[in-house]
């Protein structure tokens, strides 16, 4: 069972994401989160997909694209660490990624399908990782993370953005 990382497995600033993840087996949580997110997105109007709640903020399509990009990056980091690769990892510029992806022009059905495929890949990969490999550690930008801390950070990152989506994009 994939459970919450200890405080010594990640840098303190990432606690904000980890604390958002409910208690329980992370794979079960990710499956439930996927169902909830898909239901939320499938019931979203075309107008809402294009909505920016403030001039400098992403539209909903871009937020979903960012969630996808982040999960892909976390998946890569987890795969590297859990396979015993000690090469230092790197961060990424989320603003450049979203801008370069041009998510505003992607059909919402494609974004939903993309999200679903990436989440299913994540879950399938997590199921192949040996229990002890979740405790393996790697570095990113001179900070130490366990593989499971990245898994929880990724899940918490989506919780964070889903809260914003509900509060800022889906309010009447």
Instruction: Write out pLDDT tens, residues 86-100.
Output: 999 999 999 999 999
Residue 171 has pLDDT above 80, yes or no: no
User: What does R_g of the chain's alpha carbons equal in angstroms?
Assistant: 16
Q: With a cut of 60, say whether residue 118 has pLDDT above it.
A: yes
Whole-number pLDDT of residue 76: 98
What is the domain partition of the chain in residue ranges?
A: 16-169
Q: Tell me if 159 sits within 8 A of 21, measured CB to CB.
A: yes
Q: Is the pLDDT of residue 172 over 80?
A: no
pLDDT of res. 14: 98
Q: In terms of pTM, does the model score above 0.85?
A: yes
Region 34-59 average pLDDT: 94
Sort 155 into a burial class: Cβ within 10 Å, 0-12 / 13-18 / 19+: buried
Segment 142-162 mean pLDDT: 98
SS3 (DSSP) at 123: helix
What letters, b where the CB count within 10 A reaches 16 and e where it falls short, cover 136-149?
Answer: bebebeeeebbbbb
State the DSSP H helix or E strand holding residue 151, giving kind and residue range, or none if neither: helix 147-164
> Across residues 106-125, what is the average pLDDT?
98
Tell me how crowded residue 158 is: count the other CB atoms within 10 A of its CB: 24
Assess contact for 137 and 145: CB atoms under 8 A: yes
Q: Which CATH class is domain 16-169?
A: mainly alpha
Question: What's the rounded Cα separation, in Å, for the pair 47 and 169?
Answer: 10
Per-residue pLDDT tens for 3-45? 999 999 999 999 999 999 999 999 999 999 999 999 999 989 9
């Amino acid at each position: 069972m994939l459970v919450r990382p200890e405080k010594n497995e990640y840098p303190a600033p990432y606690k904000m994401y980890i604390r958002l993840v409910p208690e329980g087996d992370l794979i079960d949580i990710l499956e439930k989160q996927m169902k909830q997110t898909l239901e939320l997105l499938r019931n979203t109007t075309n107008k809402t997909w294009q909505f920016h709640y403030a001039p400098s903020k992403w539209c909903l399509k871009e937020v979903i694209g960012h969630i996808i990009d982040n999960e892909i990056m976390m998946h890569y980091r987890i795969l590297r660490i859990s396979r015993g690769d000690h090469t230092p990892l790197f961060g990424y510029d989320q603003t450049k990624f979203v801008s370069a992806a041009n998510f505003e022009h992607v059909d919402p059905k494609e974004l939903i399908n993309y999200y679903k495929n990436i989440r299913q890949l994540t879950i399938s990969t997590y199921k192949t990782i040996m229990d002890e490999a979740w405790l393996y550690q790697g570095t990113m930008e001179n900070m130490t993370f366990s593989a499971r801390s990245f898994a929880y950070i990724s899940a918490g990152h989506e919780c964070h953005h889903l809260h914003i989506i509900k509060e800022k994009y889906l309010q009447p």
